[in-house]
Amino acid sequence: MTTLAIQRQGGGALAILLSETRMEFLRLLRAPAFSVPVITFPLLFYVLFGVVMVPHNAGEPVLRQIFANFTVFGVMAPGLFGLGVTLAIERDRGLLQLKRALPLPPSAYLGAKLLMAMSFSAIVSLLLMVVAVTVGQVVLALTQWLTLFALAVVGALPFCGLGLLIGTLVKGQAAPALINLIYLPMSFLSGVLIPLQALPHALAVAAPIWPCYHLSQLAQAAVGGTSASGVATHILALIGMASVLFGIALRRWARLR
């Protein structure tokens, strides 16, 4: 009996985190307004722009580059929408208050949302890989596949930070609108959806202010291309941006009513 009690105490926090994560994942998977765009849009866009409409003379490196960039595009949405919209709606509908009053550790509440976003990101990345291998004519070494996958999972975090921040700034239905206003322009301005060369010079120079620019550079490096400023610089930039976003978001979160 003592053993049982100790197990309960010891396993408590982890068990809560896992169960919260599972429920957070399930409830969003079952919500078409979230799961359909988050999972299918990157796939559709990749099929359209990376497979169907790609120039015939495009070399294998270009195909890899496009694939890596659509992976980055797919990695952004789970954190932005999964944290931003859910937090904004939970604030609006009183669920955040209930969860805070219940004996649920705040770390489990937030941790579950991060793990949920990383799970969706992993799924999107894997589905994109299936498309890339079957119809995308992308050939990578095993380590390259694995590096890109790891990047997709961990790379969801800065966008979780941004999503969380947005969720603390606006309530309810304003969140999806605001996130779309950030998500799509950011994807264009960082060279994720169109090459940086296609942008006006001033905008192209400003690309490093966007977290997805650095993730995109890392993804290029992962699939055998070269990054603009070296892998270490981009990793540090992402860690820095994520820290600032989470720092501000968590401070605001702690003071939410």
Q: Which residues of the shown chain bind other proteins in the complex (CB under 8 A)?
A: 8-9, 12, 15-16, 19-20, 23, 26-28, 30-31, 93-95, 97-98, 100-105, 257
Name the helix (H) or strand (E) containing 142: helix 142-154
- The CA-atom distances, in angstroms, between 33 and each of 28, 77, 164 are 9, 13, 19
User: Of 29 and 196, which has the nearer Cβ to other proteins?
Assistant: 29
Query: What stretches of 30-139 show up as alpha helix (H) in DSSP?
Result: 32-46, 60-92, 95-101, 106-134
- Taking the least distance from each CB to other proteins, the nearer of 109 and 210 is 109
Which letter does DSSP use for residue 198 in this model?
G
Could you tell me the smallest distance in angstroms from the CB atom of residue 175 to other proteins? Answer: 16
Q: Are 216 and 159 in contact (CB under 8 A)?
A: no
Smallest distance, Å, CB 22 to other proteins? 8
**Exposure string for 86-120, b = 16+ CB within 10 A, e = fewer:** bbbbbbeeeebeeeeeeeeeeebbbbbbbbbbbbb
When the beta carbons of 99 and 225 are compared against other proteins, the nearer one is 99
Instruction: Give the span between the Cα atoms of 87 and 4, in whole angstroms.
Output: 35
CB of 20 to other proteins, least distance (A): 7
In the numeric block, the tokens 């919209």 are attached to 85
- Closest to other proteins by CB, 32 vs 200, is 32
Phi-psi region of 94 (alpha: psi -120 to 50; beta: other; left: phi over 0): left
Cβ at position 250, least distance to other proteins in Å: 17
| CA 159 – CA 165 distance, rounded (Å) | 10
* CA separation for the pair 89, 84 (Å, rounded): 9
Least CB distance to other proteins at residue 12 (A): 7
Least separation in angstroms between residue 100's CB and other proteins is 6
**Both structure tokens of 114:** 């991060």
Smallest gap from Cβ 131 to other proteins, in A, equals 27
User: Cα dihedral angle (186, 187, 192, 197), rounded to 10 degrees?
Assistant: -60
Give the nearer residue to other proteins in terms of CB position, either 107 or 134: 107
In the bound state with other proteins, the residue whose beta carbon lies nearer, of 23 and 239, is 23
> Which CB sits closer to other proteins, 201 or 257?
257
